[in-house]
Structure 1
Amino acid sequence: MSYTNPQSLVSTAWLATNLQQPDLRIVDATWYLPMQGKDAKAEYLQRHIPGAVFFDIDDISDTTSSLPHMLPPPEKFASRVRRLGIGDGNRIVVYDANNMGAARVWWMFRIFGAREVAILDGGLTKWLSEDRPVEDGEMKLQERHFTARLDNTQVRSKEQMLRNIDTKREQALDARAAGRFHAKEPEVWPGRRAGHIPGARNLPYNQLFNADGTIKDDDTLRGLYEGAGIDLKKPVVASCGSGITACSLAFGLHLIGHRDVAVYDGSWAEWGLPGDTPVET
């Protein structure tokens, strides 16, 4: 069965054919956990898809927040992506090297009003495995005007998540590994408690992908969400460790046509802090 929203996913073959289209912007969204000790920007400078600009998730964020890479104000988002040469009317293709950052950046563009945004299926790994061209150095494009308006329907706060425990209006779905979700493994974000939001379900984000990094087909995705206990006719809010891989769950739901999906931006980096948030193990 084909995806309900296939235009949101492009193949490496399609991108190779369309690299020179003047309205197309390619974005490298590779991001690593701090404890992985890798430098995504340095990797981009060494090797990226021709024409790609680097989207720094940690910089294009609310840097006044004590939490990592929270959504920036609309004016900051607009300013930063303008400098990347991305403007109103551009078609945007986002990729990464590890199936972590691309969905976050896809979600950010959509939440700030861009509509023609797609993810490269299989990302840089598949592109390289097919011996497709790459370049090095930093891509500089002419600034374009980007209009950013925050769509609050796609994002949730801690207060909204606390209320949802009682109202149960939305199904909470956690993208972290099962060991972290069930408090059987240490939480990777320092100073956070172990466990999960009461009532939440668990679907580790990496289960959405095939061995070659491509996303699984429509029927398999539906089976994964339903297997995690999600009713695909009801609203879903996704969370994870810090708001990154939750967006992979949101993207998968979008692909199969689920329209009522939001992301809890603070995720466990906020909820897991000592304080007034209840934790289930």
Structure 2
Amino acid sequence: MLFSTARSATRRFLPVKEKGRRAMSASSEVDSSTPSLVNTEWLKQRLKGVKLLDASLYMPAQARDGLSEFKAKRIPGAQYFHLDEVAEPNTSLPHMLPSEQAFAAAMDALDVSNEDHVVVYDGLGIFSSPRAWWTFKCFGHERVSVLEGGLPAWESSSGPVSTDSVSNEQLQRPGKAVRSPPSSTRYKAKLDHSKVRSAQEMLANVGSKGEAVVDARSPGRFIGTEPEPRPGLKGGHIPGAYNVPFPQVLRDGKQLKSPEELEKVFSNAGVDVNRRPVVGSCGSGLTASILALAVHQINGKVIPIYDGSWSEWGMLSDVPISTETPPNTV
């Protein structure tokens, strides 16, 4: 049965028949109300006027733990936004978007209101924080920014850090709220379906080619010559996808390149992000968010992301998979 192994991961998304309307709204939406990137000097001047969230999450190969590092040191006033905890609990797929009620409950636990300007950062510079940025955008929170360069840039600029102890109860509160959300919340979340794609919609797009799929994984994983880090996944990519490995949009692995440089990166991969609707994909929906943040620097649009990404597609038994080299023309 189609998508039987995906479990409940896509149960909240719109059916395929909505795709045409959704693609139109996604391609025409421009977000210019709040800067998606802020630098360290900007933050120093507004440190007490924003809600800071450390969204550090690392891959197993990086041998680092975001929660432990947060407990050791953080930007003063920051709270920990655990991407694997503020996520759908009833799926085997990693850090999938939670329900509206669960996200709202987590925001209450973090004392974040709908009016707050949220600034997210991570311990690498630009890695997991864009996923938190995209998550807030998905639930209708427009006032959210990423700290360019993250904690490394903050420390390099002599920004203050806190090493005060943090209680385990405080750290566990958002995750508990997600697993057992109350019937009512102060925070109001509304999932914007135009910013998310399901496996069914991605399959429909293989035939329609209505959206250009940009895959943030490495070239080896994209064509199936490099093994997937998660067991049980086949190699390759969604047919018709374009390969834009996320390190290509970064400078020194810590900051996004200029809008002009970013536009060239996508163009070199065969995608004109100003002329064609784009959807992001990667291994688990994490590094695709880096591409989403990059596109936002070019044209102000918040592109949709295939939330299940290759963690879902690569385990399905009845979807097409390609191992061809990346196309270089649209």
Q: TM-score, normalised by structure 2?
A: 0.80
Counterpart Cα distance in 2 of 1:86 and 1:104: 17
Partner of 2:277: 235
Cα displacement string for residues 227-253 of structure 1 (whole angstroms, at most 9, x for unaligned residues)? 111122111010000010101111111
Deviates more, 1:26-35 or 1:66-75: 26-35
Identity of aligned residues (%): 40
- Which among 41, 55, 60 is matched to residue 34 of structure 1? 60
Contact persistence 1:171–1:230 (CA under 8 A): yes
Are residue 73 (structure 1) and residue 64 (structure 2) matched? no
Contact persistence 2:292–2:302 (CA under 8 A): no
Are residue 247 (structure 1) and residue 289 (structure 2) matched? yes
Structure 1 residues 57 and 212, CA, compared in 2 at 3 Å: closer, same or farther?
closer
Partner of 1:120: 147
The AA in structure 2 aligned to 1:193 is K
Contact persistence 1:26–1:51 (CA under 8 A): yes
Counterpart Cα distance in 1 of 2:122 and 2:244: 21
Are residue 168 (structure 1) and residue 194 (structure 2) matched? no
The AA in structure 2 aligned to 1:241 is G
The AA in structure 2 aligned to 1:149 is K
- Which among 155, 158, 175 is matched to residue 196 of structure 2? 155
The AA in structure 2 aligned to 1:204 is P
Counterpart Cα distance in 2 of 1:181 and 1:130: 37
Counterpart Cα distance in 1 of 2:127 and 2:58: 8
Counterpart Cα distance in 2 of 1:87 and 1:258: 24
Describe the SS at the equivalent of 1:261: coil
Describe the SS at the equivalent of 2:299: coil
Describe the SS at the equivalent of 2:296: helix
- Per the TM alignment, residue 274 of structure 1 is displaced from its structure 2 partner at its CA by 4.4
Partner of 2:308: 266
Contact persistence 2:293–2:302 (CA under 8 A): no
The AA in structure 2 aligned to 1:255 is Q
- Per the TM alignment, residue 212 of structure 1 is displaced from its structure 2 partner at its CA by 6.4
Cα displacement string for residues 44-77 of structure 1 (whole angstroms, at most 9, x for unaligned residues)? 0101111111000001111101211111000000
- Which among 39, 51, 56 is matched to residue 25 of structure 1? 51
The AA in structure 1 aligned to 2:89 is T
Partner of 1:96: 122
Q: TM-score, normalised by structure 1?
A: 0.93
Partner of 1:279: 321
Cα displacement string for residues 185-212 of structure 1 (whole angstroms, at most 9, x for unaligned residues)? 1111111001111010011112111116
Counterpart Cα distance in 1 of 2:92 and 2:230: 13
Contact persistence 1:53–1:138 (CA under 8 A): no
Partner of 1:178: 219
- Unmatched segments (≥5 aa) in structure 2: 1-30, 175-184, 324-330
The AA in structure 2 aligned to 1:221 is L
Counterpart Cα distance in 1 of 2:316 and 2:196: 23
Counterpart Cα distance in 1 of 2:161 and 2:66: 16
- Per the TM alignment, residue 182 of structure 1 is displaced from its structure 2 partner at its CA by 1.6
Contact persistence 1:10–1:119 (CA under 8 A): yes
Cα displacement string for residues 14-71 of structure 1 (whole angstroms, at most 9, x for unaligned residues)? 10111122xx101100001234342210100101111111000001111101211111
- Per the TM alignment, residue 87 of structure 1 is displaced from its structure 2 partner at its CA by 0.7
- Unmatched segments (≥5 aa) in structure 1: none
Counterpart Cα distance in 2 of 1:190 and 1:52: 34
The AA in structure 2 aligned to 1:165 is V
